[in-house]
Amino acid sequence: MKFFRLMCAALLGFSPNVATACETALVLTIDVSNSVDTGEYRLQVDGLADALRDPEIVETMIRTETAVAVVQWSGEDRQELTIPWVRIRTALDADNLANRARLMQRAFVLSDTAPAEAIYFSLGLFDAVPDCTRKVIDISGDGTPNGGSDVRAARNAAERAGVTINGIAIESMGLAITNFYQGAIITRNGFVMTARTHREYPAAIRAKILREISRIVG
């Protein structure tokens, strides 16, 4: 009986349903520029942590062995890799990642908005995950640039590198940020989701991550 149990365990270990490679490498970036107050930062962080603990997202990340990194960004020289790459192979991996996200301390205050530099910084992170099939940068923000270099040039560099950029545009009034993200930030195979306020961000980030790791693009 003991031998039979060992054989079953060995066979399960070689099950063809077990993911053997990383399907998606996802850089989740959070805008912490001057326009984001303390409460709005907390909404972003808690929304991200809750999304990473969502059962459907956890199941998909495990099945596709998703790699996740988290970046905070604001002005031209203000980018921080707050959570380096984590491979999600088990529910415990996802839970630990969600806990780390919830406990993140804000990296920068009183700084400009420079999404181009956030893109360039994030592009450099993919060298550490060369085995991942798809590479995606998730840009979240509530403003247009007032610092840094040309965001369209950064977007074009991502396209040349085969990296997809998606966005969450956090609006306070109208659709100005959404329109800017559509025209200047996302790649041709990317998409934008709109959160009318920071309070809508948690639902938007959950839907966005699920869409990103489920191979739905455009």
Residue pointed to by tokens 């596709």: 64
Q: Is residue 201 part of a domain?
A: yes
- Determine the Cα–Cα distance for residues 130 and 7; give it in Å rounded to an integer: 34
Q: Is residue 1 part of a domain?
A: no
Domain containing residue 49: 20-213
Name the domain count of the chain.
Answer: 1
Name the strands in the sheet holding 134-141, side by side, starting at the edge strand that comes first in the sequence: 79-87, 67-73, 24-31, 134-141, 164-170, 192-195
What is the tens place of the pLDDT at every residue in 42-88? 999 999 999 999 999 999 999 999 999 999 999 999 999 999 999 99
Give the pLDDT mean for 133-138. Answer: 97
Rg (CA), the chain: 18
Domain of 124, CATH number, reads 3.40.50.410
Q: Is residue 181 part of a domain?
A: yes
User: Which of 179, 211, 198 has its CA nearest to residue 60?
Assistant: 211
Residues 44/140, Cβ–Cβ less than 8 Å:
yes
What is the tens place of the pLDDT at every residue in 190-201? 999 999 888 899
